[in-house]
Structure 1
Amino acid sequence: REGEAADFELLTRGLAYAAVPCVLLVIQPDLGTPILLLFVWGGMAYIFGARLHHLGAFFFAFIMVFTAAWGFGLIRPHQKQRLTAFISDSTNIEKEGYHLRQSLIAVGSGHLAGQGLFRGPQTQLSFVPDQETDFIFTAVGEELGFLGSTTVILLFGVVLWRGLVICAEARTLFGQLVAAGIVVMLFFHVAANIGMTLGMMPVKGLPLPFVSYGGSAALTNFIALGLLQAIYSDRRSIRFE
Structure 2
Amino acid sequence: MLDLFNPFRWKARFLPWQEMDWWLFALPVGLSVFGGVMIRSTELNTPVTDWWQHWLITGIGVVIMLFLARCRYENLIDWHWYIYGVTNVLLIAVMILGYSAKGAQRWISIGGFNFQPSEFAKLGLIITLAALLHSEGASNIFSALRALAVTAVPWLLVFIQPDLGTSLVFGAIVLGMLYWGNANPGWLILLVSPVVSAVVFNAFLLNPYSPEWMAWAVLITWATLMSLIAWRTLPWRWTIAGAFAINILGGEIGHLLWEILKEYQKNRLILFLNPEKDPLGGGYHLIQSRIAIGSGQVWGRGLHNGTQTQLHFIPEQHTDFIFSAIGEELGFVGCILVMVVFWLICLRLIILAENAKDNFGSLLAIGVLAMIVFQVIVNIGMTIGLAPVTGIPLPWVSYGRSAMLTNFISLGLVESVSTYRQRLRF
Partner residue in 2 for 1:130: 316
Q: Give the corresponding residue for 1:36.
A: 169
> Which of 345, 354, 357 matches 1:171?
357
Deviations, residues 35-93 of structure 1 (Å, cap 9, x unaligned):
11011000000000001111001011344558725623676654432211023455211
**Is 1:68–2:224 an aligned residue pair?**
no
Q: Aligned equivalents of 1:125 and 1:93: distance in 2?
A: 18
Q: Which moved more, 1:184-193 or 1:82-91?
A: 82-91
5+ residue gaps in structure 1?
A: none
After the TM superposition, which parts of structure 1 deviate over 6 Å for at least 4 consecutive aligned residues? none
Q: Is the 8 A contact 1:86 1:201 kept in 2?
A: yes
Return the alpha-carbon distance in structure 1 between the equivalents of residues 264 and 153 of structure 2: 24
Shift, 1:227, TM fit: 1.2
Secondary structure in 1 aligned to 2:159?
helix
**What is residue 293 of structure 2 aligned with on the other side?**
107
Is the 8 Å Cα contact of residues 69 and 75 (structure 1) preserved in structure 2? no
Match of 1:58 among 185, 191, 195: 191
Using CA pairs below 8 Å that are at least 6 residues apart, which structure has the higher relative contact order? 2
Which range moves more in the overlay, 200-209 or 6-15?
A: 6-15
Q: Could you tell which deviates more after superposition, 148-157 or 53-62?
A: 53-62
**Alignment partner, residue 55 of structure 2:** none
Higher CA-based Rg? 2
Equivalent residues in 2 for 1:147-158 (5 A)?
147-158=333-344
Distance 1:76 1:167, change over 3 A: farther
1:163-191 deviation per Cα after TM superposition (whole angstroms, max 9, x unaligned): 01011111111111111000010011111
Q: Does structure 1 conserve the Cα–Cα contact (< 8 Å) formed by 2:293 and 2:328?
A: yes
Paired residues of 1:84 and 1:91 also in contact (CA < 8 A): no
3-state DSSP class of the match of 1:171? Answer: coil
Residue matched to 2:327: 141
For each residue in 1:102-146, what CA deviation from the matched residue of structure 2 results, as whole angstroms up to 9, or x when unmatched?
A: 000000000010000011000010001100000000000000000
Partner of 1:236 in structure 2? 422
Q: Are residue 191 (structure 1) and residue 392 (structure 2) matched?
A: no
Out of 148, 171, 196, the position equivalent to 1:15 is 148
Aligned residues: 233
Secondary structure (helix, strand or coil) at the match of 1:83 reads: helix
> More displaced, 72-81 or 166-175?
72-81
If the length of structure 1 is used for normalisation, what is the TM-score?
Answer: 0.90
CA contact (8 A) 2:319 2:393 kept: yes
Give the RMSD, CA atoms, in angstroms: 2.0
What TM-score do the two structures reach when normalised by structure 2? Answer: 0.52
For 1:124 and 1:89, the matched residues in 2 are separated by 23
Percent of counterpart pairs with the same letter?
Answer: 42
